[in-house]
Amino acid sequence: FRGDAHRALRGSETLIEIAGRNGSAFYLMLGTIQRGWARARLDGGDSGLAEFRQAMAKYFEHGNRFSAPLYEGLYAELEAERQSADAALTRIDEASALAQQTGERRIDVLLHRIRGDILCRVHPDDPAPAEQAYLAAIAVAQQQSARSFGLQAAFALAKLYQSTGRPVEAHDVLAPALEGFSPTPEMAEIAEGQALLAELAEKVGATARRSTAKLS
């Protein structure tokens, strides 16, 4: 969930070892999927991605749907980075539809945020589609009280606003998302978000001071 591939790899290998020792085919497949994702995230190429896809295919062939929207969403994220952003966008839409079908709505925020990231790649000169995806993620996070996922989406949107010369909006979307959070090694977005917020506050303050000086 937080994208820590190194720890996910260690955890998945432990799960595979335990599941194999106890003859649990279901958890063995889950561990293999999670290991495939971790390796795909770490290797930077297509071999890990192929392993991830093969593990998912075997899992689905057995009729399993638990966490399927999550796995498809994570695959789409990697696919956008390594292969085709357009194909990844189709996949993330399919993952969202699958979440609606299965009722597994706990990752809706994550899927909206990943869609926003993909749209940034598909439409680099048009930030509006990505902005709408991030706003949808934030809205769902508020409905579900999913504050960590909401912070990830708000951080992504703030960076989008910053890159398009909208520091006030970047500050306004990030400040409430960070309220109540303290930096922790487990979630880098907190410290990174606080650093960005301080930078934005300085920029917004400088703009306000210049405006005041002109009026004077």
The pLDDT of residue 208 is above 90: no
Give the dihedral of Cα atoms 137, 139, 145, 149; nearest 10 deg. Answer: 20
The pLDDT of residue 197 is above 70: yes
Q: What integer pLDDT is reported at residue 47 of this predicted model?
A: 84
> Packing angle between helix 108-122 and helix 147-163, nearest 10 degrees?
20
Q: What is the CA radius of gyration of the chain?
A: 20
CB atoms under 10 Å from CB of 6, counted, come to 10
Looking at residue 24, what DSSP letter applies?
A: -
pLDDT tens digits, 90-147: 999 999 999 999 898 999 999 999 999 999 999 999 999 999 999 999 999 999 999 9
The pLDDT of residue 74 is above 90: yes
51 Cβ neighbours under 8 A, 6+ residues apart: 35, 36, 39, 40
Q: What integer pLDDT is reported at residue 30 of this predicted model?
A: 95
CB atoms under 10 Å from CB of 39, counted, come to 20
The pLDDT of residue 216 is above 60: no
**What 3-state DSSP class applies to 187?**
strand
Q: What integer pLDDT is reported at residue 3 of this predicted model?
A: 87
Here the tokens at position 201 are: 């506050």
pLDDT tens digits, 24-59: 999 999 999 999 999 999 987 788 899 999 999 999
Q: What integer pLDDT is reported at residue 85 of this predicted model?
A: 93
The rounded distance, in Å, linking the Cα atoms of 186 and 25 is: 30
Q: Which residue has the tokens 């306004």?
A: 172
Does residue 180 come out as left (phi exceeding 0), alpha (psi in the -120 to 50 range) or beta? Answer: left
pTM: 0.90
pLDDT tens digits, 142-167: 999 999 999 999 999 999 999 999 99
Range 20-28, long-range pairs (CB < 8 A, 24+ positions): 25/62, 26/64
Phi, psi of 206 (to 5 degrees): -65, -40
Alpha helices in the chain (DSSP H): 5-22, 25-43, 47-61, 68-82, 85-102, 108-122, 128-144, 147-163, 167-178, 188-215
Q: How far is CA 64 from the centre of its chain?
A: 23
CB atoms under 10 Å from CB of 11, counted, come to 15
